[in-house]
Chains A and B, each alone.
Chain A
Amino acid sequence: MLEETKVKAASALKLPKDVVLGEVLISFLGRHSVVIENYRSIILYTDCLIKLQAKNCRVIIGGSRLMIEYYTNEEMKINGYIKSLEFD
């Protein structure tokens, strides 16, 4: 119920949803680097698969030679050969 109100309020006031709702924000730079904001934690990290927990979904990045260039509480940058991005 509260979540719905929040969504409505955010769209009515035209506020950015990633800020208000804490949704995950993913931006690609070509196929070699991706920046993921608003994630919660790392579930799995290998050089061909990275699984991240976001607020209400999981993000799965597949590829090869994946490397976390840096990560902080909110933001993570992944470099490597990215093949897929899935939500779970």
Chain B
Amino acid sequence: MLTWLNHRFFGYLFVEMAGFSPERFLNMCSVHEIEVWEVIHSGHTYRFFMTVPGFRKIKPLVRKSKVRLRILKKFGLPFFLYRNRRRKYYAAGFLCFLMILYALSLFIWDIEFDGNQMYTYDTLLKFCESEEIRYGMKKSKINCDVLEESLRTRFPEITWVSARVSGTRLLVKIKENEVLSEIPVKDDTPCDLIAQKDGTITSMIVRSGVPMVKVGDEVSAGQVLVSGTLPVIGDSEEIINTHYVHSDGDITARTEYHYNRKIPLFKTIDVETGRVRKGRYIKAFQFSFLFMRPRPDGTAWKQTMEEKQLHLFENFYLPIYVGKITGNEYISYERPYTKEEKKELADQMNQSFQKKLLEKGVQILENHVKILDNESLCQISMDYVTEEPLGRQEALKMQTTEEPEETNNSNERN
């Protein structure tokens, strides 16, 4: 490779030799360390390649060995430049190209984050922008150490950051903390348990607090199920004091869910005609250019786009994007839903609601789906009878007369 470059750079010749003692000439070349290669004997002549610096030194050797040399062809950079010496604009264009390339290499054209799982690309990019690090900024203005430091302080879950500039890219590698950074503290503030939904209590286990309802009771949303206020009643049946506790318990209730969905009677269907229109576009800074045949009047097309950023090598990204556009023609028309389709739609809705309920920890006991047809629209109603844990913690208002020390004591007792 190195010799190849060397030959091209200094130029080399294809030479024909004829004469009295060609072997002597070849021997003298090797003695004088003149590079000669691919020697072919054909007829009465020898043909070989030799370098230009070598050719300048062989005059005495030619005289001694009484051979005649004829240059058949010239290769390499010096001859290329000589041939194109009049093409000034060509050279200017080439120089311009090199200069633009150099100028582009002074800026950041791509920011990449690697290893982020908790924080999205956009979050990190926005943060970088607030730190004055953005796409298209000067490379010399980036201080990687400062960026690393600020990323660590701003995002506590990031335990390790490495930022570096490679080519025209800013590469940020991130390691996130995989274990919980803090242990959840047990909540001990006094509170009530409140029903978040209407229902009938089916079971109740109260660990602390005063139960206000019993199994079989119907409760409505907002009703207190377990009270965190413990009244201390004296002998004369008057309230001497009140203790406040953090009420806690497992309460399940039978609840109901009703959903109603209206769907239009007619369904829009898009059918692809099979005609495809392809195009390309190129985008640099705020300029973009589209190569695509114009859309024929009265047709509708669905278009998809693929965009790629140009890069010279792995890390030399350029601010030029090329994209491919594919358009598929379609015709849309409307038709009424068939019975099967309605049923399928209802099934789908049912499935999605069931999934949502199960995710909330709700147990489904009964499930009814009804399709109600009407002249103007179609209704799908879904009714569920379910069982779910009830009780939401809500801080209770303490009376101001209460002394804090006593509250703490009561907590210990409970």
Contacts and interface: CB of A to CB of B under 8 A. Distances in A.
B36 A46 contact: no
Interface string B286-302: 00000000000000000
Contacts of B46: 45
Interface of B: 22-23, 26-27, 30-31, 33, 36-42, 46, 48
Given A72-B30, A73-B31, A46 B37 contact: no
Contact of B39 (A44, A68, A73): A68
A69 interface: yes
Contacts of A72: 30, 33
A42 B23 CA distance: 6
A20 interface: no
A3 to B, nearest CB: 25
Contacts of A44: 23
Interface of chain B, main secondary structure = strand
Nearest to B33: A73
Contacts of B38: 67-70
Contacts, number: 42
A82 interface: no
Interface residues of A, number: 15
17 contacts: A42-B27, A45-B23, A45-B46, A46-B41, A47-B40, A66-B41, A67-B38, A67-B40, A68-B48, A69-B37, A69-B38, A70-B36, A70-B38, A71-B36, A71-B39, A72-B33, A73-B33
A46 B22 CA distance: 10
Contact of A45 (B22, B30, B33, B37): B22
A38 to B, nearest CB: 13
Interface string A36-51: 0000011111110000
A71 B48 CA distance: 12
Contact of B26 (A47, A66, A67, A71): A71
Contacts of A67: 38-41
Contacts of A70: 36-38
Nearest to A78: B39
A66 B39 CA distance: 9
